[in-house]
Homo-oligomer: A and B are copies of this chain.
């Protein structure tokens, strides 16, 4: 399952001792080929962790033979020595598996500004290499968890005989990121690096890029797609792109469903926008409004918060033509009071906010969470 659902991959998850909790904290994913094609997308944050700087270089070659991931430390804001640690980690993987370090991607998650305990991490790499298994996908998914309460895997198989599988931890990407999001996708389809890059960028644009749990972008977000070609089948591009998208969407939905302290998963559908970019922008502003996120936590259909949020954007709309529905009840019509707010049932975990800008034909969906006291508790005690 997960990263070992597709043929040609082995994985492992072990306890190197990086985390004080003593839970698994090191994962290794190896592509046994015959192809080693790969693509990746990384955080847009200008403050990038050492493993992101390293892996961006690795991915430029379009070839990845292994990915090593650790929880328990982000290796971000650790300076040149932190970068040396990432390099040494890739070298250790290369040594254990007789690969080139330049084809080993590295991903890390955890506290920023702390050096990794290399005396524990490097022996952990050897342990992980020894534990590699074609059924190791679940163990790997478990080892990359930080504050995740459950591990996340997904997969899709084509009638043509190839599979896309993946694992994820954290929440958010590119704008967002409760904790860091790390994702590794694998496929046994025979696709080159350019095809993988096209599929991955199209998929992340409408999945991981459209979850925004708390508006905070990580220094470490990484999404990788590795192809072994072990199925011997070259996929039909549209079908392959859709399979990658479906696996990403599945994992993204799991991330939102497991966000720190959240009690509600909120889907924001913006319709009637002049452009898709404006629809996304409006959805993001709604999804980042702390007052609205608190109101939804309180199961309060406070649509005024939605309008106040929309009003801060420069998207095309007329304030007197805004319509807003909460769970299907159009509580705001033409920028003013609509249907009775008492008709709105917000008891379920999933809440849908629909905002029609009545300014065009474009639409977008973004997922976020409510803001809770548990979120505050979890994040006020994070590094202490």
- Of B217, B307, B378, which is within 8 A of A308 by CB? B217
In the complex the two chains form, is A304's CB within 8 Å of B379's CB?
A: no
Q: In the docked arrangement, what's the CA distance between A297 and B376, Å? A: 8
Say how far A362's CB is from chain B's closest CB, in angstroms.
19
In the complex the two chains form, is B289's CB within 8 Å of A216's CB?
A: yes
**A335 interface residue (CB < 8 Å to B):** yes
**A29 interface residue (CB < 8 Å to B):** no
- A: contact size bracket: 35 or more
Tell me the nearest residue of chain B to A336, going by C-beta: B79
Q: A99-119, CB under 8 A of B: which get 1 and which 0?
A: 000000000000111110000
Q: In the docked arrangement, what's the CA distance between A100 and B311, Å? A: 32
**A187 interface residue (CB < 8 Å to B):** no
Interface set, chain A 341-383, CB cutoff 8 A to B: 371-373, 375-383
In the complex the two chains form, is A309's CB within 8 Å of B381's CB?
A: no
Interface centre among A217, A337, A378, A381 (most CB of B within 10 A): A337
A307 / chain B contacts, CB cutoff of 8 Å: 47, 76-77, 112-113, 219
Tell me the nearest residue of chain B to A179, going by C-beta: B291
**A218 interface residue (CB < 8 Å to B):** yes
In the complex the two chains form, is A371's CB within 8 Å of B381's CB?
A: no
Contact status of A79 and B337, CB under 8 A, knowing A376-B294, A384-B298:
yes
**A45 interface residue (CB < 8 Å to B):** yes
Q: In the docked arrangement, what's the CA distance between A377 and B302, Å? A: 15
Among all A-B residue pairs, the 7 with the closest Cβ atoms:
A112-B304, A298-B380, A47-B311, A79-B336, A294-B379, A373-B373, A45-B311
Q: In the docked arrangement, what's the CA distance between A290 and B380, Å? A: 10
Contact status of A298 and B337, CB under 8 A, knowing A215-B288, A308-B47, A377-B373:
no
A175 / chain B contacts, CB cutoff of 8 Å: 312
In the complex the two chains form, is B45's CB within 8 Å of A379's CB?
A: no
- Of B291, B308, B380, which is within 8 A of A295 by CB? B380
A308 / chain B contacts, CB cutoff of 8 Å: 45, 47, 76, 112, 216-219
**A206 interface residue (CB < 8 Å to B):** no
Q: In the docked arrangement, what's the CA distance between A215 and B215, Å? A: 12
- Of B115, B216, B288, B290, which is within 8 A of A291 by CB? B216
Say how far A213's CB is from chain B's closest CB, in angstroms.
10
Q: A18-55, CB under 8 A of B: which get 1 and which 0?
A: 00000000000000000000000000111110000000
Q: In the docked arrangement, what's the CA distance between A79 and B178, Å? A: 38
